[in-house]
Amino acid sequence: MNLTLKVWRQQNAQAQGGFETYQVKDISSEMSFLEMFDVLNEQLINEGKEPITFDHDCREGICGACSMHINGQPHGPWHQTTTCQLHMRAYKDGDTIVVEPWRAKAFPVIKDLMVDRRAFDRIIQAGGYISVDTGNAQDANNLPVDKHKADESFAAAACIGCGACVAACKNSSAMLFLSAKVSHLALLPQGDVERKTRVVNMVEQMDKEGFGSCTNTQACEAECPKGISVQNIRRLNAEYIRSVFSGGE
């Protein structure tokens, strides 16, 4: 198939960006979306132009690096699918596809489609862990964990930190990402000790990073490639209230 691509180009964080239009030919429906970009980049290099910069690594939907806003949707049209797992079967000959970077104050553009998502790391630094040094663990089976709780915790821990939830949200809120981490740890007995301080500190950091507030439009859940549920946001709110009203410590 032949396609028209309108792609955001921006030389660096300071530069003004803008859309450029490209044509690609003979795209096979078996290609992934990023392989289609490989074809375009190869074409640009052959023409002596700079290829388009974008983040990607695993190309298996698990590292969370890829981050393209495709025709108005983070990660494009397929439900619960990252950009790298989106395949060209989704398109037909003659389509025009508009590709932009994540748009959020807390995720400044580095170049073209690549953004800086380190704000997520700093949110984790604020409390997204269990404080246990190496060598301090008891036998793993001394602590049975209810299977349903463990499964729920796993479902929240499946977040890949891609930032699509932020990109999808009209307020650029990071609530889904944050709540996934709070849930992962709050659902496990190991996470209980630091439960109160964790949520307060992480929320504080999120606010500092310039993410917007959550107005419950649930666009995040709809666009999350890992199916992280807004149920987690409810849990986060409950955790937060519990911790604030019991006086933090």
Partner 1 sequence: MPLNSKIPAGEMAQKWINYKNTCKLVNPANKRSIEVIVIGTGLAGASAAASLGEMGYKVKAFCFQDSARRAHSIAAQGGINAAKNYQNDGDSTFRLFYDTIKGGDYRAREANVYRLAEVSANIIDQCVAQGVPFAREYGGLLSNRSFGGTQVQRTFYAAGQTGQQLLIGAYQALERQIALGNVTMYDRHEMLDIVKIDDKARGIIARDLVSGKLERHFGHAVLLCSGGYGNVFYLSTNAMGSNVTAAWKAHKKGAYFGNPCFTQIHPTCIPVSGDHQSKLTLMSESLRNDGRIWVPKKQNDTRKATDIPEEERDYYLERRYPAFGNLVPRDVASRAAKERCDAGYGVGSSRQAVYLDYAAAIERYGRIECNKQGNHNPQIDLVIKLGKEVVKEKYGNLFDMYEKITGENPYETPMRIYPAVHYTMGGIWVDYELMTTVPGLYALGEANFSDHGANRLGASALMQGLADGYFVIPYTIGNYLADEIRTKAIPTDHPEFVKAEKEVADRIARLMSIKGTESVESLHKRLGKIMWDKCGMARNAQGLREAISEIRALREEFWKNVRIPGSADGMNTELDKANRVADFMELGELMCMDALEREESCGGHFREESQTEDGEAKRNDEAFMYVAAWESKGNNQWEMHKEPLNYEIMHPTQRSYK
Tokens of 221: 């859940």
* Binding to ligand SF4 in span 134-193, by CB under 6 A: 159-165, 176-177, 180
- What is the spatial distance between Cα 177 and Cα 163, in angstroms, rounded to a whole number? 8
> Of the ranges 97-105, 185-193, 228-236, 241-249, which one interacts with partner 1 (CB under 8 A)?
185-193
* Binding to partner 1 in span 24-43, by CB under 8 A: 28, 30-32, 34-35, 38-39, 42
Does residue 131 touch partner 1 according to CB under 8 A? Answer: yes
C-alpha distances out from residue 117 to 42, 126, 131, 160, Å: 27, 15, 24, 12
* Binding to ligand FES in span 2-61, by CB under 6 A: 56-59, 61
- Percent composition of the chain: helix, strand, coil (DSSP 3-state, to 5): 40, 15, 50
Does residue 222 touch partner 1 according to CB under 8 A? Answer: no
Does residue 207 touch partner 1 according to CB under 8 A? Answer: no
Q: CB of 54: closest distance to partner 1 in angstroms?
A: 8
- The site map against partner 1 for 75-114 (x = CB under 8 A) is ---x--x---xxx-x--------------------xx--x
Does residue 200 touch partner 1 according to CB under 8 A? Answer: no
**Closest listed residue to residue 69, CA positions, set 38, 103, 109, 117:** 103
Does residue 64 touch ligand FES according to CB under 6 A? Answer: yes
Does residue 126 touch ligand SF4 according to CB under 6 A? Answer: no
**Closest listed residue to residue 157, CA positions, set 136, 134, 186:** 186
Q: Are strands 96-100 and 114-115 parallel, antiparallel or unpaired?
A: unpaired
